[in-house]
Amino acid sequence: MGKINIAIDGVSSSGKSTMAKDLAKIIGYIYIDSGAMYRAVTLYCLRNGIVKDDKTIDEEKLKAQLSNIDIIFKLNVETGRPDTYLNRQNVEGEIRGMEVSALVSPVSAIGFLRKEMVKQQQAMSLNKGVVMDGRDIGTVVFPDAELKIFVTASPEIRAKRRVDELRMRGNKETTYEEVLENIKYRDHHDQNRKESPLRKAEDAIVLDNSTINIEQQLQWAVDMYHKTIEKNNGKNRDR
């Protein structure tokens, strides 16, 4: 059975990464978190004096050092999920922290960096059998992906889920209103930036997961995968 590439895009905090990771595990595909690559570059910038005092990025410096940045993924046998490595160091924890999160948006908006990341993402997926999630996967990275999914949910639902998650991790301070405002800000930023703004690919299937749970959304994705494989096999038979 021929393998395909699966592109999963969508708004932030929509649960697309959870779906992408679990789908990849079930169908035996490689999962690539493209956001982690932008996060790893952001960490590199913080560690190497590429962030200016006013919190903007020194693009010239970054350009000059781009070839020194090596990002790879390695399977973590304990979690069963890939960890992100920056220049051979496991940075999976650090790239999820607040310092990186606060700066990753402007870093991911830099045109020459996106070009390089897209090149690397495409090179990782040449043999197919990849589930990749992000913002521009169906539109730029895999314009020919056999299955494209665009995940969305209302800002209020996403904010509620995020607050529940924060409370579970012991955070009692951050309010629902703060989280909602941040989600709306990020939606606006992602959709209106000049470089590869977030938009649905024309041939992507929309999944609004506002009223379904994680298990239901995973089952939906697995069904979509099987349907796509069947369709593909049919096409190949007819040739």
Dist. CA 196–CA 96, nearest whole Å? 23
- Is 108 among the residues that bind ligand DC (CB under 6 A)? yes
Binding test (CB under 6 A) with ligand DC, winner from 6, 31, 39, 130: 39
State in angstroms the smallest separation of the CB of 94 from ligand DC: 13
- Is 152 among the residues that bind ligand DC (CB under 6 A)? no
Is 214:15 a contact under the CB 8 Å cutoff?
yes
Measured CA distances, 93 to 15, 89, 131 (Å): 19, 11, 22
Binding test (CB under 6 A) with ligand DC, winner from 29, 31, 38, 225: 38
Instruction: For residue 212, give the DSSP letter.
Output: S
Q: For residue 109, which of 47, 45, 13 has the smallest C-alpha distance?
A: 45
Q: Which stretch binds ligand DC (CB under 6 A): 55-63, 134-142, 148-156, 209-217?
A: 134-142
Q: For residue 7, which of 126, 144, 196 has the smallest C-alpha distance?
A: 144
- Is 225 among the residues that bind ligand DC (CB under 6 A)? no
Joined together, the tokens standing for residue 137 give 């996967």
Q: Which stretch binds ligand DC (CB under 6 A): 23-31, 72-80, 128-136, 169-177?
A: 128-136
Q: Give the strand pairing for 5-10 and 130-134.
A: parallel
- Is 138 among the residues that bind ligand DC (CB under 6 A)? no
Q: Which stretch binds ligand DC (CB under 6 A): 58-66, 100-108, 161-169, 224-232?
A: 100-108
Joined together, the tokens standing for residue 23 give 């789908």
SS3 147: strand
State in angstroms the smallest separation of the CB of 168 from ligand DC: 19
Q: For residue 164, which of 154, 174, 155, 151 has the smallest C-alpha distance?
A: 174
Dist. CA 129–CA 125, nearest whole Å? 7
Binding test (CB under 6 A) with ligand DC, winner from 104, 130, 201, 221: 104
Say how many residues touch ligand DC, by CB under 6 A: 11
- Is 8 among the residues that bind ligand DC (CB under 6 A)? no
Instruction: For residue 155, give the DSSP letter.
Output: H
In this complex, which beta carbon is closest to ligand DC, that of residue 138 or of residue 146?
138
- Is 35 among the residues that bind ligand DC (CB under 6 A)? yes
First to last CA, the chain: 16
Binding test (CB under 6 A) with ligand DC, winner from 6, 10, 12, 45: 12
Query: Which residues of this chain interact with ligand DC, rule CB under 6 A?
Result: 12, 34-35, 38-39, 104-105, 108, 134-136
